[in-house]
């Protein structure tokens, strides 16, 4: 018999292995289907007796990744309606330890991912002295489409509901609700900065990995995507129209539109704010939850009381161009249209070509989009937070994978942060012999930040611009790395 914990909605039974107790698939909100579909999350129904929490719960409706990303980014699909669930790892049951808490928000371009991805297994964080939580939230049309008749940003509302569950329940698992760090990667990091900009009071530190506060759709641009989906599905472009379809019927069309937006981000067709991130669904500036871009709210002082660790990988966009062979198919005359469609000025394209004459067209586009989508927004959000008085640290992950010509690509750091280099997701990206010492350094820095508020290097400020470089060797701090390139964007 595993350990049993009383939550606000009923008792849950977990399992213990190597001193770490795991409680998996705990509902933090009711199933978002039937009359609850496209509505804000509502509390789960209480249950009698003891609910088993020994296996991951259902995942939100989503597509499978296409090849080769199905192998590089394994993303389990678990059937069931009760998909608004979370997972807890702890070593502090039955104690008054009141350990710091780390809450993970997964990435996946707002249309993939879940808390059940094994690289996010939080046992090693729990082993090292925190209570770790991972969660699911609604994705794609279900979570982020602008549907007249329904609130926008339902996926963000799910995340807030999960953080409220943590506030109300985590003490029963040995966690301290007054010491919560929220952390996430990619779309999860964009979510973190969006939540940071709302001054919710639900977390006290934040880590944003490869995502910042620069991307959100205007309602009008989001409606362009909604209209295209509705036309292909043969329904009205409203919540009622989409509710007439099973989520599984929407997924293939959603995927097709997402692929078109990413392949040729055309602001004339999809709107400038959709094309800027080359994602069909992102948070929406709805005037209810989000009024302005998160980085602008942060610059105005939102979240200044929350410590922030933010950064990116040195070669993020190689993940999207190298394994699938797209980089080799690109010619110089295609780089400009793609870059300009995403809002990169022609002058910056020309400057990067002049500075990096040896790069192929595919390599040049990877550099430009790494800067535009990840590195420059991270710098701007760090500037905004530090200037408004918030304690801020920056990092860059620079270790290069030997696999698939990835270099220091997007998502490569995940196995290092979670100290889970042994799992399939990590091996597929990082190879069979990634540097253990780098995992120890990153995992420890994230822990130290959550526990003490200091990851172990000097704070970022817009003058000195200290950045910790994680590269498996000395892991030095550099001041304004590649500053000449960065200044082009100002």
Tens of pLDDT along 378-389? 999 999 999 999
What are the residue boundaries of the structural domains of the chain, listed by start?
A: 1-218+278-314+370-490, 219-275
Over residues 227-260, the pLDDT tens digits come to 999 999 999 999 999 999 999 999 999 999 999 9
Residue percentage of the chain with pLDDT more than 90: 97
Beta bridge partners of 131: 101
Q: Is the separation of the CB atoms in 295 and 384 below 8 Å?
A: yes
Over residues 207-228, the pLDDT tens digits come to 999 999 999 999 999 999 999 9
pLDDT value of position 73: 94
pLDDT value of position 190: 98
Q: Does the structure show a pLDDT above 90 at 56?
A: yes
- Of the candidates 445, 446, 477, the residue with the CA atom closest to the CA atom of residue 464: 477
**Per-residue b/e over 327-348, b at no fewer than 16 CB within 10 Å?**
beebeeeebbebbbbbebeeeb
pLDDT value of position 445: 98
Over residues 323-335, the pLDDT tens digits come to 999 999 999 999 9
Q: Does the structure show a pLDDT above 90 at 425?
A: no
Q: Does the structure show a pLDDT above 90 at 490?
A: no
The one catalytic residue in 21, 114, 186, 426 is: 186
> How confident is residue 95, by pLDDT bands cut at 50, 70 and 90?
confident
pLDDT value of position 326: 93
pLDDT value of position 119: 97
> How confident is residue 92, by pLDDT bands cut at 50, 70 and 90?
very high
CB-hemisphere CA count at 13 Å for 27? Answer: 21
Q: Would residue 437 show up in a list of annotated catalytic residues for this protein?
A: no
**Could you give phi then psi for residue 310, rounded to 5 degrees?**
-140, 145
pLDDT value of position 424: 80
Q: Is the separation of the CB atoms in 120 and 418 below 8 Å?
A: yes
pLDDT value of position 473: 80
Q: End-to-end distance of the chain based on CA atoms, in angstroms?
A: 59
Helix orientation angle between 332-341 and 346-355, rounded to the nearest 10 degrees: 140
User: Taking the domain 1-218+278-314+370-490, which CATH number applies?
Assistant: 3.40.50.1820
Over residues 130-148, the pLDDT tens digits come to 999 999 999 999 999 999 9
Q: Is the separation of the CB atoms in 96 and 175 below 8 Å?
A: no
> How confident is residue 94, by pLDDT bands cut at 50, 70 and 90?
confident
> How confident is residue 474, by pLDDT bands cut at 50, 70 and 90?
confident
Distance of alpha carbon 135 from alpha carbon 228, whole angstroms: 30
- Of the candidates 294, 293, 297, the residue with the CA atom closest to the CA atom of residue 218: 293
Over residues 378-422, the pLDDT tens digits come to 999 999 999 999 999 999 999 999 999 999 999 999 999 999 999
- Written as one string, the DSSP assignment of 286-321 is -SSS-SS-HHHHHHTTTTTTSEEEEEEETTTTHHHH
pLDDT value of position 96: 86
- The two tokens of residue 26 are 């705990």
Q: Would residue 316 show up in a list of annotated catalytic residues for this protein?
A: yes
pLDDT value of position 414: 98
Residue percentage of the chain with pLDDT more than 70: 100
Q: Where are the beta strands (DSSP E) in 186-274?
A: 205-209
pTM assigned to the model: 0.98
pLDDT value of position 418: 98
The one catalytic residue in 316, 371, 396, 413 is: 316
Specify the 3-state DSSP secondary structure of 180: strand
> How confident is residue 430, by pLDDT bands cut at 50, 70 and 90?
very high
Q: Would residue 291 show up in a list of annotated catalytic residues for this protein?
A: no
The one catalytic residue in 372, 385, 404, 410 is: 410
- Of the candidates 44, 15, 265, the residue with the CA atom closest to the CA atom of residue 168: 44
H or E element in which residue 179 lies = strand 175-185
H or E element in which residue 174 lies = none
Q: Is the separation of the CB atoms in 90 and 51 below 8 Å?
A: no
């Amino acid at each position: 018999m595993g350990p049993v914990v009383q939550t606000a909605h009923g008792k849950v039974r977990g399992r213990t292995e190597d001193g770490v107790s795991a409680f998996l698939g705990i509902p933090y909100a009711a199933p978002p289907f039937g009359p609850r579909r496209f509505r804000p999350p509502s509390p789960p129904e209480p249950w009698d007796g003891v609910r088993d929490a020994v296996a991951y719960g259902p995942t939100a409706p989503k597509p499978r990744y296409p090849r080769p990303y199905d192998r590089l980014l394994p993303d389990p699909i678990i059937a069931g309606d009760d998909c608004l669930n979370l997972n807890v790892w702890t070593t502090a049951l039955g104690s008054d330890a009141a350990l710091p808490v780390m809450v993970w928000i997964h990435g996946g371009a707002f249309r993939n991912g879940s808390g059940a991805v094994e690289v996010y297994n939080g046992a090693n964080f729990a082993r090292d002295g925190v209570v770790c939580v991972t969660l699911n939230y609604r994705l794609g049309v279900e979570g982020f489409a602008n549907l007249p008749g329904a609130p926008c940003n339902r996926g963000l509302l799910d995340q807030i509901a999960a953080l409220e569950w943590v506030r109300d329940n985590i003490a029963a698992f040995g966690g301290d609700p007054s010491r919560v760090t929220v952390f996430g990667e990619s779309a999860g990091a964009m979510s973190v900065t969006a939540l940071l900009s709302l001054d919710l009071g639900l977390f006290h530190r934040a880590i944003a990995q490869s995502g910042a506060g620069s991307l959100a759709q205007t309602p009008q641009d989001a409606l362009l995507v909604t209209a295209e989906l509705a036309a292909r599905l043969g329904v009205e472009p409203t919540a009622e129209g989409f509710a007439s379809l099973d989520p599984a019927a929407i997924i293939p069309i959603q995927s097709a539109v997402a692929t078109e937006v990413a392949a040729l981000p055309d602001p004339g067709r999809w709107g400038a704010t959709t094309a800027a991130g080359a994602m069909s669904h992102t948070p929406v500036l709805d005037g209810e939850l989000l009024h302005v871009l998160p980085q602008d709210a942060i610059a105005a002082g939102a979240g200044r009381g929350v410590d922030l660790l933010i950064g990116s990988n040195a070669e993020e966009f190689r993940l999207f161009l190298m394994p699938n062979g797209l980089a080799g198919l690109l010619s110089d005359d295609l780089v400009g249209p793609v870059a300009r469609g995403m809002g990169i000025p022609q002058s910056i394209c020309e400057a990067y070509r002049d500075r990096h004459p040896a790069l192929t067209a595919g390599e040049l586009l990877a550099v430009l989009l790494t800067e535009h989508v990840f590195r420059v927004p991270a710098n701007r959000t760090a500037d905004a937070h530090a200037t408004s008085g918030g304690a801020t640290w920056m990092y860059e992950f620079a270790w290069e994978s030997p696999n698939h010509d990835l270099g220091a690509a997007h998502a490569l750091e995940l196995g290092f942060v979670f100290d889970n280099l042994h799992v399939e997701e990590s091996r597929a990206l990082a190879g069979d012999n990634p540097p253990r010492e780098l995992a120890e350094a990153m995992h420890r820095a994230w822990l130290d930040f959550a526990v003490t508020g200091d990851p172990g290097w000097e704070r970022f400020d817009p003058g000195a611009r200290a950045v910790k470089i994680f590269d498996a060797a000395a892991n030095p701090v550099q001041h304004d790395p590649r500053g000449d390139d960065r200044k082009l964007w100002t």
